Amino acid sequence: MTGSDRLPIAGARRTWAWLRLELRARWLGSTLAVLVGVVGAAASVVPAYALGVLVDRVRENAPVSAIVAIAVVIVAAAVVGGVATGTATYLVGRVCGYMLADLRERTVARALSLPATTLERIGKGDLLSRVSSDTAAIGKAATSVIPTMISAFLLGVLSIAAMAGMDWRLGLAGAVAVPLYVAALRWYLPRAAPKYAAERHAVAGNSRLLVENMQGIRTVHAYRLEQRRLRDIGDASHQVHDISVSVFTLFTRFVGRINRAEFFGLAAILVVGFLLVRSGAATVGQSAAAAVLFHRLFNPIGMLLFTFDELQAAAASLARLVGVVDLAPDGANPDGANPDGANPDRADPDRADPDGADPDGADPDGGDGKPAGAALEVRDVRFHYDGGPEVLHGVSLNLPAGASVALVGSTGAGKSTLAAIAAGILRPGTGTVSVGGVALPPDRLRAHVAIITQEVHVFAGPLIEDLRLARPEAPAGEIAAALSAVGALDWATALPGGLDTVVGEGGHELTTAQAQQLALARLILVDPPIAILDEATAEAGSLGARMLEESAAAATRGRTTLIVAHRLTQAAAADRVVVLEHGRIVEQGGHRELVAAGGRYAQLWRAWEARTPTSSSR
């Protein structure tokens, strides 16, 4: 798989920029969280400091009242520290939580706006893993790792400052550990970053493989691919396992380096403290307080360093989410890579025509005008898939309003591609698609053209809700009329729960023909001026196919219709037949006219008649 087969990942600079922008937008909450965190850290330093004073007072045989006063300070500081640290954790988690919710919404919104071809190419597994496990990784960091790190960092800075406040040499001794910690981190981070990225990549690949195989389970069974697919999944799982083990090994070596830093830091404080006490430059209490302060840091510094890997994992996840958010709505990567794989020199329908002239009066900027009527015109369209050869070589097609045109041709001629371009599902490399004389970009085209493809999806839920997807406010009467028009009312009302029967995954299973009738009923409810049927009847057996042809005819009556016709009886019934071969229109005209002409269509028709003798009755 090439790099463009995956969703893009934002670079470090872009991820930081996103983070800065989000923090700036929430500056009040962020500032408050840091301020409360500082109060918490300061209050946490006080007990250790007070402990040192206590040691000195005890050694000086100070009165009980002095000891009690110190004890009160320790208790009060502990309470304030606990409350402030808890509040800071809450505030940080809140700011991060809102940022994450926003990011997740934007990721899902952008993912839903991706063209079907992009989603097909990248597979849904990668996307699912981004909105699920990547979001979970960031969520975990937001609620536990980041608050912990902030409080550990603040505590570390204030503790060193407190040690230096007692005696600068104690501060310096404590600071001995800092370069060792930094060295440990610098050793670890560059090794860990690619390992975490590889781990996430492998996990995403694994989940993609699982989703693909579950979705294609019938094909897997049909071709007896179970063992091979299981082997692939096993290999992918082993890869994840191996990477996880190497991540853990690296982590334990990192822990060893942290322990070394702690050892040297504490040893330095004890030695310096001993020398200072012996020379009379510091008290026993101060040296003890410095040692306690430093020891008190073991835990938070450990947390700070240990959670760095989780922070890195979260940063890798964040880059993956920002990568999706930054995708152009058509799936193109904003940094110039083009994951959609459409022509790099493709015409941008939102860009003004450099010539400024449009012989048909189509809007020169490609789509601001209002279509007048339901004529559909495809002009000079060229297209190639993802680095593949060109499959349409300058195709032009004209459907007057209300006309029905059948598109026929051999397998791989480009019929489905042309249909998808005419419906606004694919963006043409060059050329335009116009409705009512106005060239429209794909997203606007979809408002005028509805397409039914062979892969009709039945959404899980009550059948009536499936139909209401087309028009949520459709009254029951209209839904029944739509079902009746396509010949589906009888079987739909005969279902165990009538129109409320739960269909789709996990529910009542519909036949392919029934699912296609539902799609045709949805078409009636959407009521588009232009309809495109791509092999809507090809799947069914011959009796079912004839019934579906009638359903399709009812659903498209009065609409400008383009039918990708594999059953040539559909072509015979259309106003005009267009023959596409190798990405070029080679013939067009009425059915009788083309049969009489003895060209490619006549050839196809003879072959069709030979296969299905009853069709000659048409």
Ligand X SMILES: Nc1ncnc2c1ncn2[C@@H]1O[C@H](COP(=O)(O)OP(=O)(O)OP(=O)(O)O)[C@@H](O)[C@H]1O
Query: Where on the chain is the footprint of ligand X (CB under 6 A)?
Result: 117, 385-386, 388, 391, 409, 411-417
Residue among 227 and 411 whose Cβ is closer to ligand X: 411
State in angstroms the smallest separation of the CB of 252 from ligand X: 46
Residue among 362 and 451 whose Cβ is closer to ligand X: 451
State in angstroms the smallest separation of the CB of 583 from ligand X: 7
211 phi and psi angles, rounded to 5 deg: -60, -45
State in angstroms the smallest separation of the CB of 608 from ligand X: 14
The closest of 576, 532, 558 to 402, measured between CA atoms, is 558
Q: How many CA atoms lie within 13 A of 147 on its CB side?
A: 22
Residue among 415 and 444 whose Cβ is closer to ligand X: 415
End-to-end CA distance of the chain: 48
State in angstroms the smallest separation of the CB of 532 from ligand X: 12
State in angstroms the smallest separation of the CB of 412 from ligand X: 4
Alpha-carbon distance of 153 to 389, in angstroms, equals 56
State in angstroms the smallest separation of the CB of 569 from ligand X: 16
Burial label for 403, CB within 10 Å (0-12, 13-18, 19+), is middle
Residue among 294 and 608 whose Cβ is closer to ligand X: 608
Residue among 177 and 426 whose Cβ is closer to ligand X: 426
Residue among 361 and 412 whose Cβ is closer to ligand X: 412
Distances (CA, A) of 276 to 164, 244, 279: 13, 48, 5
360-394 as b/e, with b when 16 or more CB fall inside 10 Å?
Answer: eebbbbbbebebeebbbbbbebbbbbeeeeebbbe
The closest of 79, 8, 557, 24 to 335, measured between CA atoms, is 8
Alpha-carbon distance of 25 to 103, in angstroms, equals 13
Tokens standing for 18? 């996103």
Residue among 466 and 549 whose Cβ is closer to ligand X: 549
CA 143 from centroid of its chain's CA atoms:
22
Tell me if residue 585 falls in helix, strand or coil: strand
Residue among 415 and 427 whose Cβ is closer to ligand X: 415
Residue among 438 and 565 whose Cβ is closer to ligand X: 565
61-85 as b/e, with b when 16 or more CB fall inside 10 Å?
Answer: eeeeeeeebbeebbeebeebbeebb
Q: How many CA atoms lie within 13 A of 200 on its CB side?
A: 32
The closest of 2, 240, 9, 1 to 127, measured between CA atoms, is 9
State in angstroms the smallest separation of the CB of 346 from ligand X: 16
Distances (CA, A) of 252 to 191, 209, 220, 255: 13, 31, 42, 5
State in angstroms the smallest separation of the CB of 28 from ligand X: 49
Residue among 280 and 388 whose Cβ is closer to ligand X: 388
State in angstroms the smallest separation of the CB of 612 from ligand X: 17
Residue among 117 and 143 whose Cβ is closer to ligand X: 117
Q: How many CB atoms lie within 10 A of CB 151?
A: 26
Contact 393, 382 (CB under 8 A): yes
State in angstroms the smallest separation of the CB of 307 from ligand X: 43
Look at the chain and count its residues. 618
State in angstroms the smallest separation of the CB of 423 from ligand X: 13
Residue among 386 and 465 whose Cβ is closer to ligand X: 386
Question: DSSP label at 142?
Answer: I
State in angstroms the smallest separation of the CB of 418 from ligand X: 7
Tokens 């029951």 map to which residue? 476
The closest of 425, 471, 478 to 449, measured between CA atoms, is 425
469-508 as b/e, with b when 16 or more CB fall inside 10 Å?
Answer: ebbeebeeeebbebbbbbbbbeebeebeeebebbbbeebe
Contact 320, 99 (CB under 8 A): no
